[in-house]
Amino acid sequence: MLWSAAMSPGRDDARELQPDDGAVIQDQASAEPAASEPVAPLETAAPSEPVAPLETAPSVPTELGDTAKKPKENSILGWFLLRSQIAHARAEARGTSDEQSVYLQRAKVALEFGNVALEPNNVVASGATAPLAPSLFQQALYWSLLVKDPAVAASSPAAAWASAAPSTLASLASNDAELAQIGAAMQATFVELEQGSPEARRATAELLRRSATRLITSSESVSWQLEWLKLRRLSRIALGVALCLAPFALAFVFWPKKPDLAKGKPWHASSSLAECHPAKSECGGVTTDIFFHTREESNPWFEYDFYAPLGFSSLTIRNRSDYGAERAVPLVVEVSNDDRTFHEVARRNESFSTWSPSFPTQHARYLRLRTARVSLLHLEAVEVHP
């Protein structure tokens, strides 16, 4: 009744205001033929005065088209941060009033209680809860209708249903028959909803629950969209960071390793406590990766002999990893050309797992690592680099 009453005046007015072109022409023709009263020509019809084109006409559709466009990202940084889309979503979220938020919360609470009441065999101390489910879902749908249009002054589910926009109602059902059933349930009192067979009550409850769920989901889509955009922004930022770090990671993996100038060169130590077999991870019957082990003595050392002066400027020293790493320090790096007079080029006083000292390029035949105290010396690797 409300829809037909609202639409019918518009159609009648349109028929009354529509001009009858034939009647207008006939009236003008009938007014012209008076012979004693010649009609003066219209001055505005003179061809010598062309009508100037309207300057504002082209701008109207352009401006309207611009306002209808969705926000676009015009830069790479804008694409990663989704600035325009997030700003648009935040603006829509701010359009939700506090009153609508309260209505939405009530709708969700009523829907949750209805779901609990409709659970099979759900019984409280006072009895079964299933008969209350239809009225709870009716309340959920009532509050969700107010969320869509909070200006509607609806004091009952029936009034809210009658005042709801047709587009909102059409979104609740898949066909007209189902929509009519929902409307009948919204116009019923809570007493009427509890009447009937258990099967009929459950069918009504399911129908109202689906409708309330659809409206609640639709009302929450704005906030969900904002959260989804934030998640997309985070993933894009992570992608950007990964793309920026990828070249460095690839360079680290595929960068050519510094050559080891000492590979295959003879070495000896100040003493030997046990014979070591690093390929088998064994030394003196102990599982370890060291390749030599001195006795406990003053200033134990390890030495390479390159047979001739060799240029090098850095080392990679890997300490024993399974036990006794502190025994190696203070560790002194020394070079010599006669194996008698050595001079220091680097020193490490703190315990370490891997030490990579760098120094000005040395040209020396002998390279010695010495622990400057009474101790034992055992290392897993000593590499020499140009």
Residue 350 has pLDDT above 90, yes or no: yes
Stretch 325-343: mean pLDDT? 97
Least confident of 69-78, 341-350, 373-382: 69-78
Mean predicted confidence (pLDDT) in 187-206:
90
Task: Reply yes or no on whether the pLDDT at 305 is more than 70.
Answer: yes
Select the more confidently predicted residue: 321 or 46: 321
Assigned architecture for domain 267-385: Sandwich (2.60)
Question: Which two tokens mark 15?
Answer: 């028929």
Residue 218's pLDDT is 82
Section 44-61 average pLDDT: 43
Reported as a pLDDT band with limits 50, 70 and 90, residue 125 is confident
Where exactly does CATH 1.20.120 map onto the chain? 92-226
Task: Measure the CA–CA gap between 371 and 379, rounded to whole angstroms.
Answer: 12
Phi–psi pair at 343, nearest 5 degrees:
-130, 145
Model confidence over 230-252: pLDDT tens digits? 787 788 888 888 888 888 888 87
The vertex-162 CA angle with 161 and 165, nearest 5°, equals 80
Contact 304, 262 (CB under 8 A): yes
Angle, CA 272 vertex, CA 268 and CA 274 arms, to 5°: 125
Q: In the structure encoding, which two tokens stand for residue 327, read together?
A: 């025994």
CA dist., res. 323 & res. 327, Å (int): 9
Q: For residue range 134-161, list pLDDT tens digits in order.
A: 999 999 999 988 887 766 667 889 888 9
CA 200 to chain centre: 45
- CA gap 75, 84 in Å, rounded: 11
Q: Which of 66-70, 140-144, 210-214 has the lowest mean pLDDT?
A: 66-70
Task: Locate all alpha helices (DSSP H) within 32-175, ordered by sequence.
Answer: 59-68, 76-81, 83-94, 98-118, 133-148, 157-163, 166-170
* CA 360 to each of CA 75, 260, 311, 318, 354: distance values in angstroms, whole numbers, following the listed order: 48, 17, 10, 21, 20
Residue 54, SS3 per DSSP = coil
Instruction: Give the span between the Cα atoms of 376 and 239, in whole angstroms.
Output: 50
Describe the crossing of helices 98-118 and 133-148 by its angle, rounded to 10 degrees.
Answer: 160
Residue type, 286: V
Q: Which two tokens stand for residue 191?
A: 């007493």
The correct CATH number of 92-226 out of 3.40.50, 1.10.238, 1.20.1530, 1.20.120 is: 1.20.120
Distance CA 196, CA 188 (A): 13
pTM of the predicted model, to two decimals?
Answer: 0.42
354 three-state secondary structure: strand
Instruction: In the chain, list all ranges with CATH 2.60.120.260.
Output: 267-385
What is the rounded distance in angstroms from the CA atom of residue 385 to the CA atom of residue 315?
6
Spatial separation of the C-alpha atoms in residues 362 and 344, rounded to whole Å: 11
